[in-house]
Amino acid sequence: MAIHYASDAAAAAAVHASLPGEGHVVVHGDLRNADAVREMVDSAAASLGGIDVLINNAGVFYSHPIQSATYEQWQQAWTDTLGVNLIGAANATWCALQHMPRSGGSRIVNVGSRGAFRGEPDSPAYGASKAAIVAFGQSIAKALAPEGIAVTTLAPGFVETDMAKDHLTGDSGREIRGQSPFNRVAAPHELADAIVFLASAEAEWASGAVLDFNGASYLRI
């Protein structure tokens, strides 16, 4: 397994140390930089002897309400958010495909968001990037199926992560947890379990699908 990080080397090292077995690697790269993405993926593939599964899980979220953000803040938020959440994921996918066997069984799992469907008024770039990753996943699911590569998208709500920590404290946290009839948000291991299934051989026929994973906090038809 290859663990990618952008800035938190200590966290990546901790994940690496927690993995069973040997042969795991840590790779670094800014997903906004196309050359860095290619170098990162090629390095991972060289260390692992190829790539069978790609999980596009990297994401950033910046507050930039259209009513209050300056034009400079607005532009930067769109550039950074799309650069990581969409273009970075698309570039990582292209690069990983160069190392995937075409004999069947490879998997690509994109991590989207319920924000793709419900809207994100405080972070429109985030909502747009996650809507686009859904469309991207469905497009390449059709393109890659003849080569035995299945592509799916997981669309979670809030998860107990460092990125969401500020939102999940105090009154804001209580309101967010109350959006789900379970009165909680997801634990990271629950997403991991879902991703393991989507990356498995049993999930091939789900290719092109989007799995809502938000504890009934947002429902759509």
Positions annotated as catalytic residues are 126
SS3 124: helix
Identify the residue whose tokens are 């947002």. 218
Measured distance CA(20)–CA(53) in Å, rounded: 18
Distance of alpha carbon 79 from the chain centroid: 17
Distance of alpha carbon 43 from the chain centroid: 20
Residue 82's closest CA among 36, 126, 49, 141?
126
Measured distance CA(27)–CA(15) in Å, rounded: 12
Measured distance CA(55)–CA(137) in Å, rounded: 12
